[in-house]
Structure 1
Amino acid sequence: MAAAFAVLRRLLPPRPAYVVGFAVYWAGWCLGFPLWVLGPRGVARVLRAGRRPGPVDVAILAFPVAGAVGAALLPDRRLVDGQVAAVMAGTAAVNAVGEEVLWRGLFLAEFPDDVVRGALWPLAGFTAWHLAPQLVLPSSRGRAGFLLGAAVVGAASTAVAWRTGGLRSVLLPHVLTDACGVRVARFWLGR
């Protein structure tokens, strides 16, 4: 995806490059690839799978949400209007569900007894993937700071998905974390 974002950055203005890059990521990787590997029933199965999270799991999942609220949502809360809120919610839902299916559900389904291939490799891939859109829209926190945030979100989701055996309990916290992106939502809107 880094190559796709790099090419798009050369061919298009920043906002269209970003939007097209994410459309390719969501349609091709987050939806198409899992459907090809797992099939529609397999994708539905990984979305529903998982035991109820325990108190430790809830605390693990709350950490990145609290971080995103404190680092992104609260400082920029005055920039949120109805349109921005709608984009925040919509892109968060699509992105978080797609990423959980691709980076956790697919690997949990394919490697349920192998923590390296079922959890650690996809965590590394999830974290590294976040470099790609930075080629078009660099984070105000810098690449390292943005990757650290992605690693925290990914590690929390990976740990709880692995412990509970599915995605059911990690979807909402990932959506809430992603929905804190005020500045990126404004970028989507051209503001």
Structure 2
Amino acid sequence: MGLLYPATWFDLWHFAPQAVLTSEFPGAPYSFVLYAILLGLSYGYYSWVTGSIRWGTVSHIVQDSLGLAGGTFLAGMGLLL
């Protein structure tokens, strides 16, 4: 349960913005939530095995930074609306 509860809340937290923001791609919120489920379970498992959330947090920060930087880069090139 120490793995499922945090992963569930992680997933629900990531579903909230998808429920508010609309996307031109059908099914986009569900694919994002599925991705969040997989990440939540992997972060939770790794934290459980190591006994620390440190590297899961660092991984999440790096992933978010790359996603934001990638979106900014594509928008700057006119490839992202």
> What's the TM-score, normalizing by structure 1?
0.32
Q: Distance in 1 between matches of 2:16 and 2:47?
A: 25
- Equivalent in the alignment of 1:155: 41
The question of whether the paired residues in 1 share the 8 Å contact of 2:7 and 2:37 is answered with yes
1:149-188 to 2 correspondences below 5 Å: 149-179=35-65, 180-181=67-68, 182-183=70-71
Q: 1:138 to 1:161 in 2, by over 3 A?
A: farther
Deviation at 1:176, TM superposition (A): 1.5
- Equivalent in the alignment of 1:127: 11
Deviation at 1:183, TM superposition (A): 4.0
Deviation at 1:149, TM superposition (A): 1.2
Q: Distance in 2 between matches of 1:163 and 1:138?
A: 37
1:93-104 to 2 correspondences below 5 Å: none
SS of structure 1 residue aligned to 2:61: helix
Deviation at 1:148, TM superposition (A): 1.1
- Equivalent in the alignment of 2:28: 142
Q: CA-atom RMSD, angstroms?
A: 2.3
- CA deviations 1:81-118 (Å, max 9, x no partner) are xxxxxxxxxxxxxxxxxxxxxxxxxxxxxxxxxxx0x2
> What's the TM-score, normalizing by structure 2?
0.68
1:19-38 to 2 correspondences below 5 Å: none
The share of aligned pairs that are identical, in percent, is 31
For CA contacts below 8 A with separation 6 or more, give which structure has more relative contact order: 1
Q: Distance in 1 between matches of 2:62 and 2:53?
A: 15
Q: Distance in 2 between matches of 1:138 and 1:164?
A: 38
Amino acid at match of 1:149: Y
Q: Distance in 2 between matches of 1:183 and 1:135?
A: 20
The number of aligned residues is: 70
Q: Distance in 2 between matches of 1:177 and 1:124?
A: 20
SS of structure 1 residue aligned to 2:32: helix
